[in-house]
Amino acid sequence: MQTAQSLTSMSGLPRLEARMLLEMVLCKPREWLLAHDTDPIAPEAAAQFLTLAAQRRQGTPVAHLVGHREFMGHRLSVSAEVLIPRPETELLVEMALQSLPDGAGLSLLDLGTGSGAVAISVALARPTVRVVATDLSETALALAQKNAQQLEARVQFSQGSWYEALPAEGRFDVIVSNPPYIAHSDPHLSRGDLRFEPVGALTDGADGLSALRHIIAGASQHLIAGGWLWLEHGYAQGEEVAHLLLRAGFNAVQTKQDLAGLPRITGGSL
């Protein structure tokens, strides 16, 4: 009879990944697994685990196999229709929260919300703020809506391309976005998890800056005076994004580094 221990070593996966798959197959939390490392595992569960392990070895992201990913301490459902939430994007949420005290009458716009990770995290941390989230993809919005319901976050979703998803009137205190910013020619698109993620969430099909340029250019029509815009971007795009913000009339323009020490989030106030 196989055990968690023997299956983990048979799987050929890093221990943490094997554990995540075992947790799902056995419907047990991490603590249980650690304490029952050598308990016998039913043959059907063992077989199911080995099938998932084989898919993982072939590259399928762990988040797709287990169906969820943690972000800001929240469990978000993910699918192949949305970008898998990444740890560096938590910094985008933190900057948004720094620019946004909790207060009725305040509002935040998340452009291209995907799984809803950023909008939902802000809504949960600032329950009285009005949070609006957009996406071009109906399937992404349906998933984001499901995530918001599951986590009891109050977010208003709207379908459309960037600002086109919004009604003409009404301005926001803060706008955030993690748009597709990888250049079309970047070899990373054909490596790792990115091969399994929606291409439209990763690249603009051009130099990687076109969505960022578009969002910056339109921001003044949708922000209040003194409002903040915070953007996630590629590690080599910080200076260009800062420059675009300055040219669009933003003040206090600043770039923040992610956990890997790379320039990742740039913002400014109008």
Q: Give helix 117-125 / helix 90-98 axis angle, nearest 10°.
A: 40
User: Is 140 in contact with 114 (CB distance < 8 Å)?
Assistant: yes
Strands (E), 136-212: 156-159, 172-177
Taking the complex as a whole, the smallest distance from the CB of residue 85 to ligand GLN amounts, in Å, to: 10
Rounded Cα distance between 80 and 61, Å, is: 10
| C-beta closer to ligand GLN: residue 178 or 255 | 178
Strands (E), 50-201: 68-71, 74-77, 107-111, 130-135, 156-159, 172-177
| C-beta closer to ligand GLN: residue 173 or 232 | 232
Q: How many CB atoms lie within 10 A of CB 246?
A: 12
| C-beta closer to ligand GLN: residue 54 or 80 | 80
Taking the complex as a whole, the smallest distance from the CB of residue 179 to ligand GLN amounts, in Å, to: 6
How far from the centroid of its chain's Cα atoms is residue 136's Cα? 15
Q: Is residue 113 involved in binding ligand GLN (CB under 6 A)?
A: no
Interface with ligand GLN (CB under 6 A), residue from 194, 209, 215, 229: 194
Residues 10-39 that bind ligand GLN (CB under 6 A): none
Taking the complex as a whole, the smallest distance from the CB of residue 181 to ligand GLN amounts, in Å, to: 5
**What tokens appear for 265 in the block?**
């989030």
Stretch that binds ligand GLN, among 56-64, 144-152, 177-185, 249-257 (CB under 6 A): 177-185
Q: Is residue 202 involved in binding ligand GLN (CB under 6 A)?
A: yes
Q: Is residue 182 involved in binding ligand GLN (CB under 6 A)?
A: yes
Stretch that binds ligand GLN, among 5-13, 149-157, 175-183, 217-225 (CB under 6 A): 175-183
What is each CA distance from 117 to 45, 133, 263, in whole angstroms?
Answer: 31, 10, 21
Interface with ligand GLN (CB under 6 A), residue from 19, 28, 36, 86: 86
| C-beta closer to ligand GLN: residue 92 or 106 | 92
Taking the complex as a whole, the smallest distance from the CB of residue 1 to ligand GLN amounts, in Å, to: 40
Per-residue binder mask for ligand GLN (CB under 6 A), 231-270, x = binder: -x--------------------------------------
DSSP secondary structure string for all residues of 111-147: ES-TTSHHHHHHHHHSTTSEEEEEES-HHHHHHHHHH
Element (H, E) at 263: strand 263-269
User: Which residue(s) pair with 174 in the sheet?
Assistant: 108, 228
Stretch that binds ligand GLN, among 42-50, 172-180, 218-226, 240-248 (CB under 6 A): 172-180
Q: Is residue 180 involved in binding ligand GLN (CB under 6 A)?
A: yes
Contact footprint for ligand GLN (CB under 6 A) = 83, 86, 178-182, 194, 202, 232
